[in-house]
Structure 1
Amino acid sequence: MIKLNRRQFLGASAAAAASAAIPKRHSLVADEVGLSDPDTPAWIDAHVHVWTPDTSKYPLSPRFGRSDMQPASFTPDELFSHCRPAGVARVVLIQMSFYEYDNTYMIDVMRKHPGVFSGVGIVDHNASDLAERVTSLASQGVRGFRLHSRSGAKGWSNNSGMTTLWRLAAEQGLAICPLINPTDIPYVDELCSQFPDTTVVVDHFARIGVSGTIEQESLDQLCRLSRFPKTHVKTSAFYALGRKQPPYTDLVPMIRRVVDQFGPERLMWASDCPYQVQGDHTYDASIGLIRDEISFLSESDKQWMLRDTAAKVFF
């Protein structure tokens, strides 16, 4: 008789319940990304940026120019050439900084490919019509809002617009997705304490390891966020962390730590394309780390991290 520890038992039970609750993917989704085989796992990539070279129809923010668009484009068709062979059927689009608060291109892509994409938008949290903007974007399929800590997250918890955004997200069932540096984790912790009912998805392990080493103190701080049941972490952007070399197995100890702390049902894999598919980095190397390289992950764990957690939060 095989004995399961508490995490394995709870994870397996939760995975079974979630799989029953998540509807079978519509044939339109399968056709859209070339997954006609019903036995295909149909994974979800929880973090991709898309943009178009058509800056006449979709103008860039004044803070960016064409020279900032590297590569010059990354359209859904370009994405599909990478994700189809890996069995990825759905994708969470993250509003690209080039467009700043104009989410039009992302929403148009979502409309053109119904059922395939969900979206995380960007809003100006200091806007006087913040509530109207959030409600409008949510009505168009946006399921979360990204926060950039360009100048650091200090002061976020005392900003009236920021606290309004976190409150609105809780009320409307939307996610807050902070793109932060390790030094910003305590400020996100403050907001999680103030708004424990808000779903939070921390991008890219809070960039722990971007310096080339995994800072233990920062990892401890990230793991302390697990005490908030609605806080999640993206296991993503492997190309940018640690040794920055495929197959990225130097990141396995950090992944094991967050799996043990959060459980796989609060972790989601993401590629961070197009940045993951440049140089020696490939799409398959990214998904392969979770799918093939980590022996302690059960099949149930992989289903959560490669599909069910993102489905629960964003679809």
Structure 2
Amino acid sequence: MQDTKLKNDPSTMLSRRTFVGGVMATTAIAAARPTAIASPVDVAESNVPPNWIDAHVHIWSPDTERYPISSQFSESDMRPKSFTADQLFEHCRSAGVQRVVLIQMSFYQYDHAYMLDAMEANPGVFSGVALIDHRRPDLTKRMKSLAQKGMRGFRLHSRGDAKDWVDDPGMDELWRTAAHEGLAVCPLINPDDIPYVDALCKKHPDTTVVVDHFARIGISGKMERDSLDQLCRLARFPNTHVKTSAFYALGKKRAPYDDLIPMIKQVTEHFGPERLMWASDCPFQVEDGHTYEASIALIRDRIDFLSASDKQWLLKGTAEKVFFA
């Protein structure tokens, strides 16, 4: 869960495959088109392939000359060394995942070239969440520019400084601009940071917010009851959402992750399925014996209190509404 470019070189060329009928068919980029979008209920009641959406994936290239990383990182931070669009598709194919929300990898910092190249090479498959410096003087202009290129949200990284976000003028501009432009703010926070996000939601109730990875509740191995209650209090803001994701890193950290079901039930009771979205957090979900199938199966197969329609929202509808509309 820690967030520790492909043009003409055949060895690093991004896949130009799009997802059709639950699998990806190889096609020329000029012929690729987004698949038709049906409502969650329509899909639940038909024989159409599932067309699931993975709402949180990081990709990067081993070619650091073409796609250099930030000076704040070293190549040793790139673990695994490579996780390209093609490598991602190998995991998505059998799970029926046809679209993906890409989250900018931190060691690229504010250079989104690799993500943007992936999005251009795979039209209709990817949406994006960018990183941005909220202190830059041209913040609103930069946000609009990235949105025109397909970015649908902006990620906030808490590094113990979330308490400073509430009264920061740049952060205020970021949240206001996101609301005005129909973009999402996506905080990656720890449990102690929830009150500060709460305060920002109160100041900016019209801003779409997507909290990553249950606010990392359970990363210590324990489900912190007070923190979970605080997270659920965010449900009083109707534009706030939660990603049910990064199962490999929470609770017992062992598949099939059934120990996380009570936490999923509580957030479902407060937010409703229409404001929850499943995500794998690849490539970290497919390391150390964890699998992509185990992650999606927790929501798809193992939770009896979720109806078929509920699962459609978690596995497709909510992410579609926020990141692909």
When normalised by structure 2's length, the TM-score is 0.87
2:265 pairs with 1:265: no
**Partner amino acid, structure 2, of 1:164:** E
1:283 equivalent in alignment to 2:292: yes
What is the aligned partner in structure 2 of residue 144 from structure 1? 153
* Cα RMSD for the two superposed structures: 1.6
CA distance in 2, matches of 1:83, 1:253: 26
Please tell me whether residue 153 in structure 1 is matched to residue 162 in structure 2.
Answer: yes
Question: 1:271-307: CA deviations, max 9, x gaps?
Answer: 0000000011000000000000001110000000000
Q: Quote the residue 2:59 is aligned against.
A: 50
The match for 1:89 is 98
Between 220-229 and 97-106, the greater mean CA deviation after superposition: 97-106
| Structure 1 match to 2:20 | 30
Q: More deviation in 145-154 or 175-184? A: 145-154
**Equivalences for residues 108-127 of structure 1 within 5 A:** 108-127=117-136
Change (3 A) 1:95 1:174: same
Structure 1 pair 31–137 and aligned structure 2 pair: CA distance change class (3 A): farther
Indicate if the aligned counterparts of 1:231 and 1:266 stay in contact, CA closer than 8 A: yes
Q: Contact 2:57–2:101 at 8 Å: present in 1 too?
A: yes
> What's the CA shift for 1:35?
6.8
Counterpart amino acid of residue 288 in structure 1: A
| 1:30 shift after superposition | 1.9
Measured after TM superposition, the shift of residue 151 of structure 1 is 2.5
Work out whether residues 208 and 240 of structure 2, in 8 Å CA contact, stay in contact via their aligned partners in 1.
yes
* CA–CA separation in structure 2 for the residues paired with 1:297 and 1:250: 16
Report if aligned partners of 2:22, 2:50 keep a CA contact under 8 Å in 1: no
Which blocks of at least 5 consecutive residues in structure 2 are unaligned? 1-16, 27-34, 36-46
CA deviation digits over 1:55-82, x for unaligned, max 9?
1111101111110000001001000000
**Letter aligned with residue 312 of structure 1:** K
Cα distance, 1:123 vs structure 2 = 0.5
Partner of 1:77: 86
Deviation of 1:39 after TM superposition, in Å, equals 2.5
Q: Deviations over 1:256-284 (max 9, x none)?
A: 00000000000000000000000110000
Tell me the amino acid that sits aligned with residue 220 of structure 1: D
Tell me how far apart the structure 1 counterparts of residues 230 and 23 of structure 2 sit (CA, whole Å).
38
Which residue number in structure 2 is paired with residue 11 of structure 1?
none
Instruction: Report if aligned partners of 2:234, 2:240 keep a CA contact under 8 Å in 1.
Output: yes
Q: Distance between the aligned counterparts of 2:22 and 2:146, measured in 1?
A: 24
Distance 2:24 2:181 in 1: 33
Provide the C-alpha distance between the structure 1 equivalents of 2:209 and 2:109, rounded to a whole number of angstroms: 21
3-state SS in 1 of match to 2:89: helix
Residues 66/33 of structure 1: CA separation in 2 closer, same or farther (3 Å cut): farther
Instruction: Give the structure 1 partner of residue 252 of structure 2.
Output: 243
| Cα contact 1:35–1:89 (8 A) shared by 2 | no
Change (3 A) 1:278 1:116: same
Query: Please, which of 194, 198, 215 is the counterpart of residue 224 of structure 2?
Result: 215
* CA deviation vs aligned residue, 1:196-233 (integer Å, no higher than 9, x gap): 00000000000000000000000000000000000000
1:230 aligns to 2:239 (yes or no)? yes
SS in 2 for 1:158: coil
Note if 1:299 corresponds to 2:289.
no
Deviations 1:151-189 (A, max 9, x none): 231110100000100000000000000000000000000
Q: Judge conservation of contact 2:179–2:207 (CA < 8 Å) in 1.
A: yes
Alignment match, 1:201: 210
Give distance in 1, aligned partners of 2:125 and 2:280. Answer: 16
Aligned partner letter, 2:128: G
Q: Which amino acid letter does the alignment assign opposite residue 20 of structure 2? A: A
Distance 1:294 1:35, change over 3 A: farther
Deviations 1:23-47 (A, max 9, x none): xxxx954289527997211100000
1:71-95, Cα deviation, whole Å (9 max, x unpaired):
0010010000001100000000000
> Given residue 129 of structure 1, which amino acid in structure 2 is its aligned partner?
D
Q: Give runs of ≥4 in structure 1 deviating > 6 Å.
A: 35-38
**What SS does structure 2 have at the residue aligned with 1:71?**
coil
Of stretches 31-40 and 168-177 in structure 1, the one that deviates more from structure 2 is 31-40
Q: Compute the TM-score of the two structures, normalised by the length of structure 1.
A: 0.89
